[in-house]
Amino acid sequence: MNRRSFLKWANMAGLAVGLPSVSAFGTASEDAKPGSLANAPATKKVASPETLLLKDYRPKSIYKIPVTEIAKAKFPVIDMHSHPYAKTAREIEEWVKNMDEVGVEKTMILTMTTGAEFDSIQKKYSKYPDRFEMWCGFDFAGHDKPGFGAAAVKELERCQQAGARGVGEIHDKGKGLRSGKSNAPGMHPDDVRMDALWEKAGELGMPISLHVADPIWMYQKMDRYNDGLMNAYEWRLDNQPGIVGLAGMVDILERTVQRHRNTTFIACHFANLDYDLARLGEALDRNPNLYADISARYAETAPIPRFASQFYAKHADRLVYGTDMGVDKAMYRVTFRILESLDEHFYEAEQFSYHWSLNGFGLSGAILKQVYHDNAAKLLAARRA
Ligand SMILES: [Zn+2]
């Protein structure tokens, strides 16, 4: 399953949580076959270049240059951004085996759920307490009624007692907060109604995995100039009036993080500032309680390897590894290749659905160790202090 079909599946499944619909397993091996283009049946016919569609364009690199295969990450890895993809005991076992093979020590399962749904996921994964951590969501029921807060705080405390170690993934793509199936249209993270929840999470030592906005191309015009058109069109936001834009959401993120200094926030996916890493750098510099995860933005940063690796060097103490892309060994290995190697001009359209070619960052051992492991370990250990 490539990232586009994976995301489509995750979205249909209410962001992959709790529903026994299509599994990340089973379909994965079939879709991941080299040369099989799950999304591009048109390529089965020989398309004329005159009529070839961008979504079907699958160039192959012609360069005779080094190709680095990284079976296992250079250092033990903590994956700070994943979801309960494995639904059965057998699938969980298979995932653990994959993690062993590629060198992932521990995975944060962002369940986005509360109540019985959280408890059942927690129970399913309880056989491997050293390999998986369960993070719960928020219950936004009654967010639009006076007195919202007390019940949500109570449920957060209950989840923590049931085993939740953090909170996530909480989304706000501009229309208001969402935690899996629970949502709060129009209420953004910096809303005073959210104060009690953020504060309680800090008090309980639960870090927050917070996803704001979406990649910039989705806000731009869907035309010939849109650099990320093939993914942007599917996830477009340009046609949604009244939505808070990307810059506005990043400001909201910063205001939230500033208001709650005793709470640790992890901005998912570089806060969607993969196109403007300097802006993310400013936010990190201003906010000691802010981290960023690098999940699901590998393809968006690999086209700019020199600028990206400089950014990693500058903020090596605040970036944490994450995937958010299923459980396949091939998926993990692509992320290692981008972080570790100096390979150039390679395509991973099966994983990411972009026609762009990618390049490795060649990060140093010291930086890799921080991003793969040490920053996350430090952040997680701080909870027990
Ligand atoms: Zn995610």
Dist. CA 43 → ligand 1 center (Å):
30
Beta-strand runs (E) in the chain: 77-82, 104-110, 132-136, 166-172, 176-179, 182-185, 208-212, 265-267, 290-293, 319-320
Ligand 1 centroid from CA 169, angstroms: 6
> Can you give the residue range of the structural domain that contains 236?
3-381
The span from the CA of 139 to the CA of 164, in Å, is: 14
CA of 110 to the centre of ligand 1 (A): 7
Give CA–CA dist 244/236, Å, rounded.
14
257 CB burial (10 A radius; 0-12, 13-18, 19+):
buried
Q: How far is the CA of 147 from the centre of ligand 1 (A)?
A: 30
Tokens of 196: 């009690």
* pLDDT at res. 5: 44
Nearest in space to 83 (alpha carbons), one of 268, 263, 348, 299:
268
> What number of CA atoms fall less than 13 Å from residue 162's CA on the CB side?
23
Q: How far, in Å, from the CA of 320 to the mean position of ligand 1?
A: 14
CA 290 to centroid of ligand 1, rounded, Å? 18
Ligand 1 center–CA 221 separation, angstroms: 25
| Packing angle, helices 195-203 and 246-259, rounded to 10 | 50
Can you read off the two tokens belonging to residue 296? 């699901």
Distance CA 358, CA 189 (A): 34
Cα–Cα distance between 310 and 366 in angstroms, integer?
Answer: 14
Q: For residue 60, count CB atoms less than 10 angstroms from its CB and return exposed for 0-12, middle for 13-18, buried for 19 or more.
A: exposed
From the CA of 168, how far away is ligand 1's center (Å)?
Answer: 9
d(C-alpha 153, C-alpha 167), whole Å: 12
Which residue type, as a one-letter code, is found at position 20?
P
List pLDDT tens digits, range 149-172: 999 999 999 999 999 999 999 999
pLDDT of residue 24: 46
On the question of a cis peptide bond just before residue 169, with omega within 30 degrees of 0, the verdict is: yes
Instruction: Please give the average per-residue pLDDT across 20-42, as a whole number.
Output: 39
Amino acid letter, residue 336:
F
Per-residue pLDDT tens digits for 103-143: 999 999 999 999 999 999 999 999 999 999 999 999 999 99
Q: How far apart are the C-alpha atoms of 58 and 17, rounded to whole Å?
A: 32
pLDDT-based confidence at residue 230 (cuts at 50, 70, 90):
confident
d(CA 177, CA 170): 7
User: Ligand 1 centre and the CA of 82: distance in Å?
Assistant: 6
Q: What is the DSSP letter of 42?
A: G
What CA–CA distance (Å, rounded) separates 240 from 277?
25
| pLDDT tens per residue across span 180-220 | 999 999 999 999 999 999 999 999 999 999 999 999 999 99
Q: What percent of the chain has pLDDT over 70?
A: 88
How far, in Å, CA of 116 to CA of 255, rounded? 33
**149: burial class by Cβ within 10 Å (0-12, 13-18, 19+)?**
middle
What is the number of residues in the chain?
385
Residue 191 CB neighbour total at 10 angstroms: 16
Contacts with 350 (C-beta within 8 Å, 6 or more apart), sequence order? 2, 31, 32, 34, 37
Q: How far apart are the C-alpha atoms of 242 and 152, rounded to whole Å?
A: 27
Q: Model-level pTM greater than 0.75?
A: yes
Confirm if 248 and 212 have CB atoms less than 8 A apart.
Answer: no
DSSP state of 371: I
Here the CATH number for the domain that contains residue 25 is 3.20.20.140
Domain count, the chain: 1
Q: Residue 137 is which amino acid?
A: G
Q: Residue 324's closest CA among 163, 209, 218? A: 209
Q: In terms of pLDDT, which residue wins out, 107 or 36?
A: 107
Q: Is the pLDDT of residue 8 over 50?
A: no
CA 343 to each of CA 59, 231, 295: distance values in angstroms, whole numbers, following the listed order: 17, 24, 20
Distance 276 CA to ligand 1 centre (A): 21
